[in-house]
Structure 1
Amino acid sequence: MNKAWRGIDWSQPWFQPFAAVGATIGADPHVDLHASLSQTAADLRNARGLPLRFVSQENLPADTAYESHIYATGEVPTRDNLHDAFNALVWLHFPETKQWLNRLQAEELSRAGVASERGRARDAATLFDENAVVFLYEDDALAAALRDFQWQALFVAGRDAWSKRCAVVPFGHALLEKLVAPYKAVTAHAWPLRLAADSSLDEIDHALAASLREARDTLRGGRSFAPLPVMGIPGWCEDNADPAFYADHSVFRPGRRSQ
């Protein structure tokens, strides 16, 4: 994995929040990834206050759920692939939010067990963990355009607002893996968060965790989020400088929401 990790173009805008740490961790193919990640996470804790460590997948007992193991031990089983390496990077940059997601998953697993259906809260937590972006905004009209599938208003008429009055920060590790080789139809689950576009990752993490905690009782799977085709974000794709880019209704679909 270190070879593939070193091949990532950290200059891409979607990797920028993670670039300094990601490029450093993947720089030496002879350094053990788990040891490097754990060293970087030396000051971090899980939701129970236990030291956070990244360990081999073999450390996960066969009869124990992944999220339950993290909650009980502080160990994050990490396979030798990009998917899990990006998950580790998100832990390093959004520890408070990851703690909350892990606590929710572990509590729901303890209550309902592994074999049952996940339920709406766990389903929403999983979707967020895998595929979310945080949509930072200060202008309610921009958040409304996102929720209402008003792509022209958000990306064309509102183009000058990006990086000034709104911005997107990736969170989902499966989304980050897809963006190693991006394509037009990549679509994220967006969580609108009223916060300045230039907020620090620490500020975003704290506000994001708080907003998810407040919404726990109303989370309802994919319907809790706004679909966002991320290649439409200004600066994320050269082709989207042409307004015709957004005329592709197979990607930039009109809304059909009841809520």
Structure 2
Amino acid sequence: MRYVAPARSSVDPAVFERPPLAAWNEYAALLRGEHWPTVKTLDALLPLAQRERFVAQTRAVLDDGLHYEQRIHAHGAIATREANWHDLFNALAWLRYPAIKRALNAQQVAEIALMGPSTRSRPQYAMTHFDEAGVLVAVRDPALLALWDAHDWHGLFWRRREAWLDGSIHAEVFGHALLEHALTEGKLLVGKALVFACAAGDDPAGDDASVTARCAAGIADGSLLRDPLQLRPLPLSGIPGWHPDNGAEAFHRDAECYQPLREGRSYPPPVPDIASPRS
């Protein structure tokens, strides 16, 4: 069933105090204000030197005959609907992750040139999944990957619950549709994750910037998101604080977001950290 976002006036304010939306509090005025921000307001938040701009999605804009991605690539015009949660979160992703969004756009346009505007390739499906529901995951404790590989959700989210609190593993939501779904209180969220290895003891804040740069570079050079199977499902609702019920062990035994491992399914290793060791 297609998700329908709640009306702006009916969103429970509590959702903005809980991850993943709590991580976007620098945009609280855009998300929580009584009135929708205009496209002009969103565009004013972009750096003046940035080529891409938000433009109101009008009939005149759409009548140029270009695919959405081609329009961004050719003219820098990000067609944006007014008073629309999905497009607002997409705008926020452009504001926070311009390098990743730009890399996705360039690869999408390259695939459109190969496949045409009405057929999608495996890389296009992978990029679309990530653009809509993507999660960047930094892993500092490789032992956690064995639990994830086996879909041992009880182990990953309950027995190793402290790992999500001490920085051993950290998830950052990128996908704008996933952020939109988080507007519904109590909704079980599952993301599509890319995993990045990080050295134990590194500063999490520094790793977040490193992971963002590594993600953008991997998409741009074609080493990431060439197939949907490169993405790992991650039941975000299991992370401490991300769902109101996950403080009880029973949640981690029977929550519907926890699916068993499909026979024959395996996952790629995390993207290695090839940065020079820190002194």
Give the TM bin, normalised by the shorter chain. Answer: 0.7 to 0.9
What does residue 116 of structure 2 align with? Answer: 113
SS in 1 for 2:195: strand
Change (3 A) 1:26 1:249: closer
1:40 aligns with 2:45: yes
1: CA distance between counterparts of 2:20 and 2:9?
A: 15
2: CA distance between counterparts of 1:168 and 1:36?
A: 29
- Aligned residues: percent identity? 30
Tell me the C-alpha RMSD between the 2 structures: 2.6
Which among 5, 13, 29 is matched to residue 19 of structure 2?
A: 13
1: CA distance between counterparts of 2:225 and 2:72?
A: 25
**Larger RCO of the pair (alpha carbons < 8 Å, separation 6+):** 2
2: CA distance between counterparts of 1:43 and 1:204?
A: 25
The answer on whether the counterparts of 1:231 and 1:240 sit within 8 Å (CA) in structure 2 is yes
The answer on whether the counterparts of 2:186 and 2:244 sit within 8 Å (CA) in structure 1 is no
The answer on whether the counterparts of 1:86 and 1:173 sit within 8 Å (CA) in structure 2 is yes
TM-score (norm 2): 0.80
The answer on whether the counterparts of 2:9 and 2:34 sit within 8 Å (CA) in structure 1 is no
Amino acid in structure 1 at the alignment position of 2:88: A
| CA drift at 1:143 | 2.6
| CA drift at 1:249 | 6.1
CA deviation profile, 1:22-70 (whole Å, cap 9, x unmatched): 213356666852111111112463xxxxx22111111233521001101
SS in 2 for 1:243: coil
What does residue 142 of structure 1 align with? Answer: 144
| CA drift at 1:215 | 5.4
Show the 5 A alignment for 1:155-174. 155-163=157-165, 164-174=167-177
Which among 180, 204, 219 is matched to residue 212 of structure 1?
A: 219
| Structure 2 unaligned spans of 5+ | 267-279
| CA drift at 1:207 | 2.0
2: CA distance between counterparts of 1:145 and 1:197?
A: 24
| CA drift at 1:216 | 3.6
2: CA distance between counterparts of 1:231 and 1:6?
A: 22
Moved more, 163-172 or 28-37: 28-37
Quick check: which one's helix share is greater? 1
Change (3 A) 1:52 1:135: same
Change (3 A) 1:26 1:251: closer
TM-score (norm 1): 0.86
| CA drift at 1:243 | 1.2
CA deviation profile, 1:51-108 (whole Å, cap 9, x unmatched): 2211111123352100110111111101121001000001111111111101111111
| CA drift at 1:149 | 0.8
| CA drift at 1:165 | 0.8
1:52 aligns with 2:52: yes
The answer on whether the counterparts of 1:133 and 1:189 sit within 8 Å (CA) in structure 2 is yes
Change (3 A) 1:238 1:27: closer
Amino acid in structure 2 at the alignment position of 1:77: A
Change (3 A) 1:218 1:190: closer
Change (3 A) 1:205 1:217: closer
1: CA distance between counterparts of 2:81 and 2:39?
A: 9
| CA drift at 1:141 | 1.3
What does residue 203 of structure 1 align with? Answer: 210
Moved more, 201-210 or 235-244: 201-210
| CA drift at 1:231 | 0.9
What does residue 78 of structure 1 align with? Answer: 80
The answer on whether the counterparts of 1:135 and 1:167 sit within 8 Å (CA) in structure 2 is yes
